[in-house]
Amino acid sequence: MNDTLLLKEMLEKETGLVFSANPSEDNLQTVLANHINSLIVNNFEKLIFLLYRIDINENKIKQLLQKTNNNTAGEIIAKAIIERQVEKVELRKQYTPLFNASDEEKW
């Protein structure tokens, strides 16, 4: 499975959104940004819970929002979420061979 599809699955699981079958990372970010902008306006508590569940540092978000020039808050937060999820994908790839090894190889 390629990284974008794994990222898509992780985002769908965490957010409840449904993305197109074979999205680009830009498409994922756009759909996610629109969803986040909607949460900012309509359900800010749900956004905070989402950021907590995905393990996004609150201070990092504050710093990113203060530095912004032309991007919406949704775009900035979506990018941070995707970056965090990519980190998780990389960690999974790094440690997955340990779980797929035979019992003899593990020791």
- The pLDDT value recorded for residue 54 is 92
3-state secondary structure of 37: helix
15 found inside a domain: no
Q: What is the DSSP letter of 57?
A: -
* pTM (two decimals): 0.82
Burial (0-12, 13-18, 19+ Cβ within 10 Å), 81: buried
Q: Is 89 contained in some domain?
A: yes
**How high is the pLDDT of residue 43?**
95
Residue 86, amino acid: V
pLDDT for 99 equals 53
Let me know if residue 97 belongs to a domain: yes
In-domain check, residue 18 = no
Cα dihedral 21, 27, 28, 31 in deg (nearest 10): -100
Maximal C-alpha separation, the chain: 55
Residue 69 lies in a domain: yes
Domain of 51, in residue numbers: 3-7+25-106
Could you state, in chain order, the average pLDDT of each consecutive group of 10 residues for the chain (107 residues)? 83 90 89 95 94 90 85 93 90 70 52
How many independent structural domains does the chain possess?
Answer: 1
Within a 13 Å sphere around the CA of 57, how many CA atoms are in the beta-carbon half? 6
Q: What would the two tokens of residue 93 be?
A: 């790839």
Is there a domain that residue 78 lies in? yes
User: Does 63 map to a domain?
Assistant: yes
Note the pLDDT of residue 105. 52
